[in-house]
Amino acid sequence: MNEIDKRLAALGIELPEASAPAANYVSFVRTGNQLFIAGQTSVAPDGTMLTGRLGDGLELETGQRAARYCGIRLLAQMKAACGGDLTKVKRVVKLGGFVCANPEDTGPLIPQIINGCSDLMVAVFGDAGKHARFAVGSPSLPRNAAVEIDAVVEIE
């Protein structure tokens, strides 16, 4: 086990198989040293979608868990892109975070929810996990996901 795998184990995270999209796109594309990863939705480890909407029942803590699920699936894609070796990730460059949200009074919770993914990146990669990001609301996400997050990553 390399250092990143040990941290994942210490965090109790078992990465799922990197999911394959069911359409004419792919989960990641490498261009130069950059890896563009497709938006990952909040699928739980048991394979069910964590759905919900801020302002209509989705609680902060559940939303953070949803963002963490997105992060775990982003990690699975990074691992697949790196031939299984996450130490080849040099930097998490950017996360694009969308939270399913009603308009009223949901703004302050949106960044806190995306922190569920941001915190995971730093827990796994340390300083190399610190990224730029946006965090915004969306009226509707694929399969009614609570959260969708895409990423740009620098790799060896």
Separation between Cα atoms, residue 23 and residue 45, nearest integer Å:
22
Looking at the Cβ atoms of 1 and 134, the one nearer to a second copy is 134
The residue within the footprint of a second copy, chosen from 7, 44, 65, 130 (CB under 8 A), is 130
Minimum gap (Å) between residue 115 Cβ and a second copy: 5
Separation between Cα atoms, residue 141 and residue 100, nearest integer Å:
6
* In the block, residue with structure tokens 């982003």: 74
The residue within the footprint of a second copy, chosen from 25, 46, 47, 83 (CB under 8 A), is 25
Token reading at 145:
């996901």
144 binds a second copy (CB under 8 A): yes
Minimum gap (Å) between residue 61 Cβ and a second copy: 16
Looking at the Cβ atoms of 16 and 34, the one nearer to a second copy is 34
Number of residues that bind a second copy (CB under 8 A): 62
Cα-based torsion angle of the residue sequence 117, 123, 81, 72 in order, rounded to the nearest 10 degrees: -40
141 binds a second copy (CB under 8 A): yes
Q: Is 127 exposed, middle or buried (0-12, 13-18, 19+ CB in 10 A)?
A: exposed
CA neighbor of 139 nearest in space, from 105, 106, 102, 110: 102
Write the interaction track for a second copy spanning residues 50-89; mark x where CB under 8 A is met and - where it is not: ---xxx----------------------------------
Separation between Cα atoms, residue 51 and residue 105, nearest integer Å:
19
Alpha helices in the chain (DSSP H): 3-10, 60-81, 109-125
19 binds a second copy (CB under 8 A): no
Q: Which positions touch a second copy (CB under 8 A)?
A: 23-29, 31-34, 36-39, 53-55, 91-96, 98-103, 105-108, 110-111, 115, 118-119, 121-122, 129-145, 148, 150, 152, 154
